[in-house]
Amino acid sequence: MNVAYPFSAVVGLDDLKLALLLNAVSPRVGGVLVRGEKGTAKSTIVRALAGQLPAVDTVAGCRFACDPAAPDPSCPDGPHEPGGPAERRPSALVELPVGASEDRLAGSLDVERALTEGVKAFEPGLLAAAHRGVLYVDEVNLLHDHLVDLLLDAAALGTCYVERESVSVRHAARFLLVGTMNPEEGELRPQLLDRFGLTVEVRASRDPRERAEVVRRRLAFEADPAAFAARWRDAEAGLAQRIAAARERLAGVALPDERLEQIAAVCAGFEVDGLRADLVTANAALAHAAWQGRAEVAAEDVRAAARLSLPHRRRRDPFDAPGLDESLLDELLDSTSPGDAPPPDGGGGGGKTPGPPQGPAPSREADSEQDADPSQDTGREQKASPSQDAGGSQAAGPEQDGGPARDAERSMDAGPEGGERPGGGERVAAVAAPHAVPLLEVPGVGEGSAGRRSRSRTARGRVTGARRPAAKVRDPHVVATLLAAAPRQRERGRRGAGLVLRRDDLREAVREGREGNLVLFVVDASGSMAARRRMTTVKTAVLSLLLDAYQRRDKVGLITFRGRTADLVLPPTSSVEAGAARLRALATGGRTPLAAGLARAAEVLRAERLRDPARRPLLVVVTDGRATAAGDVDRAAGPLAGTAGIVVDCEDGPVRLGLAGRLAARLGARLVPLGDLDGIVRAHRGREHGKAA
């Protein structure tokens, strides 16, 4: 028998424990999204929580865990009579694998039997299994968007609907939803982030004593799981009793009008979109008050709830780092408080679970460093600090097109290409806010991962035809099925108005949608690009393309070439914010090893074809076409021929050599002048200046 690691034995992670416990007390809170680096016990603590939830009474034999006191009237296994035979089951812990299909999640109808036999046969999915328990989704950011939508809709409504060709099944699906993710592997869209009730950022403690205690307990658990669990049995029993008592107390907790107005003022003060934040914060404050044993919501309950419900709702741009300014939170609470003040410890207040002392709380230095990191703030001009800029001056922002600062930078440039400074200093150009770009897509029809860029045959999308099924029919094409059966009705001896269908008549729909691609950026960071002060425009254009890749659900990679080498600064990933951070910090200068950049791109694409063969690549080369370092450009371009590509021509000035156009011809790629992208930026900037005037 597998023994779960005790919840009470987890060291630190107080915010995560509190968020999980608030959802255990009140499922109306809406679930928890746990964001954090790998190896921080995210999965361990979620699995441990399931063991603390009270067992549930269910209708005997019901696959949907109906409550015998109030059975679901639309249960597919029903109807059940209230007060009928019952059985007691432990709260379920259901894990949703990343590769799960829609049928596995929501359940599946046997459409063949429905059409040919008139039988409504339904096989329940994971949503039914998780009813009145915990549904755990590890790496939720790697799920297809439509699965995340379906999952969050069920969590919000408490009901799962399965609709297939006029056959409809509905059943209750109320569960505690917990999703975990590593932001380095890609972000959820802000619309999906908003659907999670609470969010917690998890980082490993930097305190050596606390880290040592984590390892000490884990080694003890692995050596003898049963004995370790026995040591924590009393703490676990006390925690389970406290959860059950808080659940019973919740219905009697009052939310005074002044606290409700305080919640509304805090949400308005942080300028969150919509009203979901207000509802979640109110429900979390009620749960926190019940957890603390209070009959009325207090200011500390509102603060604890806001700290967990607002950080992920403040993101308006995919490059924005989540976070919450707690000093602003305190100001808003103080300005609307009817008289009491936030707790002196500045935390959630009493949300810690019972158990022995666990050492000092984790340091928040990493949080403050991330909040202060200017590379995470899209839309503001980024300038190199004196410590980064050996030349002693800062890079000009996009609005600084002339004046003494520009002249000073020009005088500092050295070398024939003007990219490096005396003493080997490097220039880091500023980046403006990203803007819309033209649609770039891979030609043809693929069969890759769902997305929004190129045409693809997918399970979801518009119907473009019908075909004979190779296996069991999942998506029948009713009209094509009827047309196939109609000519055979006389020989089948049809009687009356009924239509006789056979297995051979069935046709399934062929659908076409959109797929996500691998967009590999190859960016020229040499001195020839920086000499004419184009790098700000180039970096802004690439940032705009990165934003476009995020919105279209692509994987992205970034190669830069300068000096004598080409570097893969961002291996292919779904985390475009990591690409944006590396792009902002990109230094320029040196010669132009164009051949090395193309050769490195060929290596990356070759490896990705083996790793993810269904995802078609799109190569985006950003360069002026100059090649001033050793290397045969024609030879390096050979392996890339046939790959869908774009060459963004950055050449400007009165005399143009057309080198980027020649490179595009070698690659068989489409040539896009930088002005086609930059023109949008300039037009937008002109409108902003007009508003300011």
Among all residues, which ones are annotated catalytic?
Answer: 276
553 to 345, 494, 545, 576, 607: CA distances (angstroms): 42, 50, 12, 10, 20
- What is 444-491 written as a DSSP string? S-B--SEEEEEEEEEEEEEEEEEE--SSS-SSB-HHHHHHHHGGGTTT
Q: What is the DSSP letter of 669?
A: -
Q: Residue 612, Cβ neighbours under 10 Å: how many?
A: 15
Q: What is the DSSP letter of 260?
A: H
CA dist., res. 420 & res. 413, Å (int):
6
* Contact predicate 42/179, CB 8 Å: no
CA dist., res. 78 & res. 578, Å (int):
50
User: Of 91, 94, 128, which is closest to residue 243 (Cα–Cα)?
Assistant: 91
Q: Residue 283, Cβ neighbours under 10 Å: how many?
A: 24
Q: Which residues pair with 559 in a beta bridge?
A: 522, 568
Tokens at 635, concatenated: 């030879």
CA 219 to chain CA centroid, nearest Å: 33
CA 691 to chain CA centroid, nearest Å: 34
* Contact predicate 343/300, CB 8 Å: yes
User: Of 181, 130, 139, 186, which is closest to residue 158 (Cα–Cα)?
Assistant: 130
Q: Which residues pair with 421 in a beta bridge?
A: none
261 to 255, 267, 282: CA distances (angstroms): 10, 10, 10
CA dist., res. 103 & res. 125, Å (int):
7
User: Of 31, 692, 17, which is closest to residue 353 (Cα–Cα)?
Assistant: 17
CA dist., res. 9 & res. 52, Å (int):
13
CA 5 to chain CA centroid, nearest Å: 28
SS3 164: strand
Burial of 503 from C-beta contacts in 10 A (0-12 / 13-18 / 19+): exposed
